[in-house]
Amino acid sequence: MTIRALEQALADFAAERDWEQFHTPKNLAMALAGECGELLELFQWLTPDQSTHVMDDPRQAQRVREEMADVFAYLLRMADVLELDLEQAVVEKIESNRNKYPVHLARGRADKYTNLGEED
């Protein structure tokens, strides 16, 4: 399914349950952040290395999968309600970041672009 088709499926799901009344952008932003909080909880006590192997355990993998689906679902729902083209927004963001983070300055550095002019 395309991003657009997923948005439509979620819109239909909400409409069938008369949930549009709850789905204001404000409420959806909260729900999105709430699901991110649940995702954080799956990773909070893991070492970085353990986190890279989180999908090796089927129970953990399923939890990660479900929380990421919840995050994505609310993001899609919010984009639909705001009539915002998520795909186009990411494409533009990549272009913008290409200018903010030129390869010769950003290579191997986790600094914010506003600090990239500085000496290490």
Q: Per CB under 8 A, does 94 bind a copy of itself?
A: yes
Q: Per CB under 8 A, does 100 bind a copy of itself?
A: no
* x/- map, 4-33, a copy of itself, by CB under 8 A: --x--xx--x--xxxx-xx-xxxx-xxxxx
| Cβ atoms within 10 Å, residue 32 | 19
Q: Per CB under 8 A, does 57 bind a copy of itself?
A: no
Write out the H or E segment, with its range, that includes residue 50.
Answer: helix 48-52
Residues 4, 46, 57, 117: which binds a copy of itself (CB under 8 A)? 46
| Cβ atoms within 10 Å, residue 66 | 14
